[in-house]
Structure 1
Amino acid sequence: MERKKVLITGGAGFIGGNFVHYMVNKYANYDIYNLDLLTYAGDLTKHRDIEAKENYHFIREDIANHKAIFSLFDKEKFDYVIHFAAESHVDRSITDPGVFVRTNVLGTQVLLDAARKVGVTKFVHVSTDEVYGELDFDPTSFFTEETPLQPNSPYSASKASSDLLVRAYHETYDLPVNITRCSNNYGPYHFPEKLIPLTISRVLNDQKVPVYGNGKNIRDWLHVIDHCAAIDLVMHKGAMGEVYNVGGHNEKTNLEVVKSIINALDKSEGLIEFVSDRLGHDKRYAIDPTKLEQLGWNPTYTFETGIAQTIQWYLDNKEWWEQIISGEYQHYFEKQYSF
């Protein structure tokens, strides 16, 4: 069987890291290249169990480094590019928008140019439902692929900008692309600053759990493994140039999510501490994934089964998230890859 080369950018992050595991273990005939700059959220310790596999390769590089990226593409001639690499934390984008523009917009443009030069089979750009803006609390309203882009944070604006670049490269240069837009992901290896792992780690340590505003903001939750399966399907069967929404049909308020974790761990809801609301905090996200379902995808996790599995994973893997919180994970690359 012919071997394929797959470049996964941002493969040391949460979703990209899970996708690296998924692809390395599923496709023995694919050489999986994990490219990551290893900024604060980039963690290679999650790949300890696959880094010795023959079809796994790690490259430390900045996607916005034009010279390095073009050299890499010229050398490896990738068949597929699955582009996760992005600054993604909304709070950080409010504090420092420029970093998000450089990585999410300029970095995407560099990758697109390199992919066009070598003639990739497919460029899959992994985006977010946040580019659509916000919905009201009407439970019958959903984001579709035709919903206008109305981003409300520097993060989502940078992602919307990169989405438009990907679309433009398809329309102008006929680059074979797909864009996926997902709802909030959760599951193993989620960086501890995000809502679900933050809540789990703080509750286990009997620490207060901060909840923005009144906690009534609603998100649609998607298990990361369901997301990986969706991207795999789009990579292989997505119609060229099309956008596919990936949603779990698991809408919960932030307060409901926090309470479900507290109750599962048999702790007191007195640990909840309401704090000042985030600037520009979107009220509700909800995705209609019909188009992707028609392609052949359906989520396998309900929120109830997924959150139970996720909580258990964090209980079973305290060493991983404790070394993230302590910052020790940042030394792994130097220890593992120094020559």
Structure 2
Amino acid sequence: MIFVTGGCGFIGSCFVLDWLRDQQEPLLNIDALTYAGHPGNLEAAAGNPNYHFVHGDIRDKSLMRDLFQQWKPRAIVHFAAESHVDRSIAAPSAFVDTNVTGTVNLLQAAQELVQTLPPEEAHAFRFLNVSTDEVFGSLEPTDAAFSEAHRYQPNSPYSASKASADHFVRAWWHTYQLPTITTNCSNNYGPRQFPEKLIPLVIHNALRGQPLPVYGDGMQVRDWLHVSDHCSALRAVLAQGRPGETYNIGGRSVMTNLDVVRGICAMLDELRPRATPHAGLITHVTDRRGHDRRYAIDDSRLAAELGWQPKMRFADGIRQTVQWYLDNSAWVESVTSGSYRQWVEQQYHSRAAR
């Protein structure tokens, strides 16, 4: 059996569904079901005898210890995290509690289990820590892309909490010889992403004729990774990655935020036309505090060692993503509750337009 934390979230649910489709090994999903963890994401797993679910919080140290001792997984894939930069700016303590303390709880529980295993099983155990390229900070226009050796320079409470978690994972490898691996991925997109992130937010607002908020001039550069490619990379790392190593995962689709928004607008003009072009809804708002200007990923280690590379072209992936949101309006309505609308109002509508 393997454990997955945060399997009801955006990336976690994709990993769970792909795993159950392709593998016969049982999987236990541990999820606290916060606002971003939607049980409906895993409707397709219902009734699968290899799928098990525990409604639990990684901040609960006793529960994590009990689960590891009871089920004795051979690996854990750790997704569970507070992940939205804007929310981290408004309430940083929650990010420390979940992303740092929660990760340490898992490391301790895994270490205690591994100490009881026969040497061969202990050697084969894996703790896969799913992290982000945001821990590396921001690049200048002419800087080389982030490699695994790039210095950590987190610039937001979110990225600082993830960087801290990464350091603890590294410490458990070097101090306790717990077989850990960390991956640092670029911006994910795809079906079932909570609409506080750029792409689903733009689709959601555009379909309602609401302003499409773009921070600052919109020239922030990101590398876009389709969630299915991310999950295939994680499976490769889990199967073949070297303990103690880190691996960058990129989508090889570098674009400015403004170009992404304009592309979505053009696609919606085709798929769901309105009287005036959707691009007329674009509204530049006051930039986020400490907003990183450019990310870029060098994933050559992953390609060279494990033979992985992304398969989804951004043009295909974004069309598939837009179509999914058009076809799944009930899902969107179920996650965009009153609290979501209040958050959007606080975050964007109250900002002065540029």
Fold match by TM threshold 0.5 = yes
Q: How far did 1:79 drift?
A: 0.7
- Residues 187 and 307, structure 1, Cα contact 8 Å, conserved in 2: yes
The SS at the match of 1:48 is: helix
The Cα RMSD (Å) is 1.3
Report the TM-score, using the length of structure 1 for normalisation: 0.93
Which whole-Å CA distance do the structure 2 matches of 1:211 and 1:7 have between them?
37
Q: How far did 1:268 drift?
A: 2.8
Which whole-Å CA distance do the structure 2 matches of 1:51 and 1:31 have between them?
13
Aligned partner (choices 309, 312, 320) of residue 323 of structure 2: 312
Which whole-Å CA distance do the structure 1 matches of 2:40 and 2:61 have between them?
27
Q: How far did 1:328 drift?
A: 11
- Residues 9 and 41, structure 2, Cα contact 8 Å, conserved in 1: no
Q: Give the counterpart letter for 1:291 in structure 2.
A: R
The SS at the match of 1:92 is: helix
Q: How far did 1:141 drift?
A: 1.8
Which whole-Å CA distance do the structure 2 matches of 1:108 and 1:328 have between them?
27
Which residue of 2 is the match for residue 9 of structure 1? 5
User: Which shows bigger deviation, 308-317 or 273-282?
Assistant: 308-317
Which residue of 1 is the match for residue 31 of structure 2? 36
Q: Give the counterpart letter for 2:137 in structure 1.
A: G
Which residue of 2 is the match for residue 159 of structure 1? 162
The SS at the match of 1:46 is: helix
Note if 1:275 corresponds to 2:285: yes
The SS at the match of 1:11 is: coil
Could you tell me which runs of 5 or more consecutive residues in structure 1 were left unpaired when the two chains were aligned: 330-339
Q: Give the counterpart letter for 1:319 in structure 2.
A: A
Which whole-Å CA distance do the structure 1 matches of 2:87 and 2:155 have between them?
14
Aligned partner (choices 46, 55, 66) of residue 71 of structure 1: 66
Which residue of 2 is the match for residue 241 of structure 1? 244
Could you tell me which runs of 5 or more consecutive residues in structure 2 were left unpaired when the two chains were aligned: 115-121, 270-276, 341-354
Which whole-Å CA distance do the structure 1 matches of 2:278 and 2:95 have between them?
37
Which whole-Å CA distance do the structure 2 matches of 1:82 and 1:47 have between them?
17
Q: How far did 1:144 drift?
A: 0.2
Q: Give the counterpart letter for 1:132 in structure 2.
A: F
Change (3 A) 1:328 1:132: closer
Q: How far did 1:249 drift?
A: 1.1
Q: How far did 1:315 drift?
A: 1.1
The SS at the match of 1:259 is: helix
The SS at the match of 2:20 is: helix
- Residues 10 and 36, structure 1, Cα contact 8 Å, conserved in 2: yes
Q: Give the counterpart letter for 1:283 in structure 2.
A: R
Which whole-Å CA distance do the structure 1 matches of 2:290 and 2:313 have between them?
29
Note if 1:102 corresponds to 2:97: yes
Alignment of 1:1-339 (within 5 A): 5-28=1-24, 30-119=25-114, 121-138=125-142, 141-266=144-269, 267-294=277-304, 295-326=306-337
Report the TM-score, using the length of structure 2 for normalisation: 0.89
Which residue of 2 is the match for residue 337 of structure 1? none
Q: How far did 1:326 drift?
A: 2.9
Taking only the aligned residue pairs, the percentage that are identical comes to: 51
Which whole-Å CA distance do the structure 2 matches of 1:58 and 1:328 have between them?
26
The SS at the match of 1:53 is: coil
The SS at the match of 1:227 is: helix
Which whole-Å CA distance do the structure 1 matches of 2:326 and 2:74 have between them?
38
Q: Deviations over 1:93-150 (max 9, x none)?
A: 0011110001000100010011111116100000000000000122x62000000000
Which whole-Å CA distance do the structure 1 matches of 2:303 and 2:338 have between them?
40
The SS at the match of 1:322 is: helix
Q: How many residues align?
A: 323
Q: Give the counterpart letter for 1:293 in structure 2.
A: A
- Residues 31 and 55, structure 1, Cα contact 8 Å, conserved in 2: yes
Which whole-Å CA distance do the structure 1 matches of 2:278 and 2:162 have between them?
38
Q: Give the counterpart letter for 1:272 in structure 2.
A: I
